[in-house]
Amino acid sequence: MTRLLVALGWPETPASDAHHRTFQCTNGVVLALYPARSYEADLGEPAVGFRGVTLCVNLDSAAEVADVHRSLQVVEDVELLGEPAQAAWGTGFSWRDPEGNVWDVAWARDAVLDVRGGVAFP
C-alpha cells in the first residue's frame, strides 16, 4: 500500500511507525492507515468484496481526475473500476487498491478547494 500512495504523489510522513502509516495528501489532509489486524479482535475479520465504504479524494478539476486515472494505470495491483465519467455533480471514477478497498476520485462541480486544498461544499 505504501508504494501505491507514494506513486500518487503522497509522501509518507515521519509520523509513520510499526503500527500505522501516514501520508501527506496533496490537499493538506493526512491519510492514516492502520492494519486490519489492529481491529479484528473488536470488529471481526474484513469482509471479502465490497465492504460498504469507499474512500474519496476530491480534486480541483476534471483534468486532475483524468491525471490521477492515468497515474493509476501503471501502478501494480490496482484495479480501475471504470473510466472517469461525467455526472450531474461533476466527474469521477472508482478503483480498488491492493487490499480490496474501493476509492473514488472526484471533482465536484460546486465544491471549492481553499488555498490549502481543503474541500468546502456550498
Ordered domains of the chain (ranges, CATH): 2-40+49-114 (3.10.180.10)
* pLDDT, mean over the chain: 81
Considering only residues 81 and 22, tell me which one the structure prediction assigns the higher pLDDT.
Answer: 81
Query: What integer pLDDT is reported at residue 28 of this predicted model?
Result: 61
> What are the pLDDT digits (tens) for 30-76?
677 777 676 677 657 766 666 666 788 888 899 999 999 999 999 99
Return the SS3 of 39: coil
- Highest mean predicted confidence (pLDDT) among 60-64, 94-98, 116-120: 60-64
> How far apart, in whole angstroms, are the C-alpha atoms of residue 56 and residue 94?
9
Res 79 pLDDT > 80: yes
> How far apart, in whole angstroms, are the C-alpha atoms of residue 58 and residue 117?
9
100, amino acid identity: G
> How far apart, in whole angstroms, are the C-alpha atoms of residue 104 and residue 39?
24
Query: What integer pLDDT is reported at residue 61 of this predicted model?
Result: 92
Q: 26 falls in which pLDDT band (50, 70, 90)? A: low
> How far apart, in whole angstroms, are the C-alpha atoms of residue 118 and residue 111?
10
Q: Which secondary-structure segment (H or E) carries 33?
A: strand 30-33
Averaged pLDDT, 100-107: 87
